[in-house]
Amino acid sequence: MNDCNQKLNIILERIKKNEINCFLSGENDDLNIYLEIHAGAGGTESQDWADMLRRMYIKWFDKKNYKYQIISEHRGEEAGIKSSTIKVDGDYLYGIMKAESGVHRLVRISPFDSGARRHTSFASVWVYPDVDDNIDIKIEEKDLRIDTYRSSGAGGQHVNTTDSAVRITHLPTKIVVQCQNERSQHKNKETCLKMLKARMYEFELQKREQESEKLLDNKTDIGWGHQIRSYVLQPYQLVKDLRNKKESSNPLKVLDGDIDEFLEEGIKNK
């Protein structure tokens, strides 16, 4: 009987996987991704929340054996991160993760508040496809502002002594990309241009699909009224996606990388 149940569970898992795969037929669903996380207003609180989100996704990448590399990261003064950009390689990653783009909201008793009061924090997550070099995206040199700065590592370690980090701003669209993981300024610039191409391609796809206005409106403010998902730790325990109503009463498990159910629901309702 146990053997039959085991075989039945395997069959059901395969059916579920095939069902999900049927939804991954978009033009770029099979591509690798860039994942960006930005802290919202609120200083240390939001920066710590951005760091928690980064940890959640990295835990999920590890569980799936996806390869990832931190391209750029800016730490908070006291704790957490102001922003982080991660390049991730894996089958159909863009299709799986593109619905994660948006503002994520956390409600908890703050560990940074001596009065143990409840705080609400916001951070944004944006997922972009790692486009193929054959994609025809024209980037004019005159439209770029290129800045260099000294890159830094956690705890003062791995600090480059030269201004090797690169930040590129595409002036017409205001898209900003940055890279500091290489010691060579040339390599960092190369990576930045590849990221910019990915961002601009995704931007053009949004316009073509007549969704850019809605998505860009969502990007104007990392705060109230723009969140796609809420993670409540106090006064009750609940994670709720506000678009498809998917819920979990175990937020700690979700924050530990158990996000498959939310990703699957996002794929079905994209």
How confident is the model at residue 84, as a pLDDT?
95
Check residues 164 and 48 and name the one with the higher pLDDT. 48
SS3 11: helix
Domains of the chain: which residue ranges? 2-268
Say if CB 229 and CB 102 are below 8 A apart.
yes
SS3 244: coil
CATH 3.30.70.1660 for the 2-268 domain, yes or no? yes
- Tell me the per-residue pLDDT of 74-120, one tens digit each, with 9 for 90 and over: 999 889 999 999 999 999 999 999 999 999 999 999 888 878 888 99
- Tell me the per-residue pLDDT of 156-191, one tens digit each, with 9 for 90 and over: 344 444 678 999 999 998 999 999 888 888 889 989
Residues of the chain above pLDDT 90, percent = 52
Expressed in angstroms, the distance from the first to the final Cα of the chain is 39
SS3 229: strand
Say if CB 168 and CB 193 are below 8 A apart.
yes
The pair of three-digit structure tokens given for residue 192, joined into one six-digit string: 């930045």
How many whole angstroms separate alpha carbon 166 and alpha carbon 199? Answer: 16
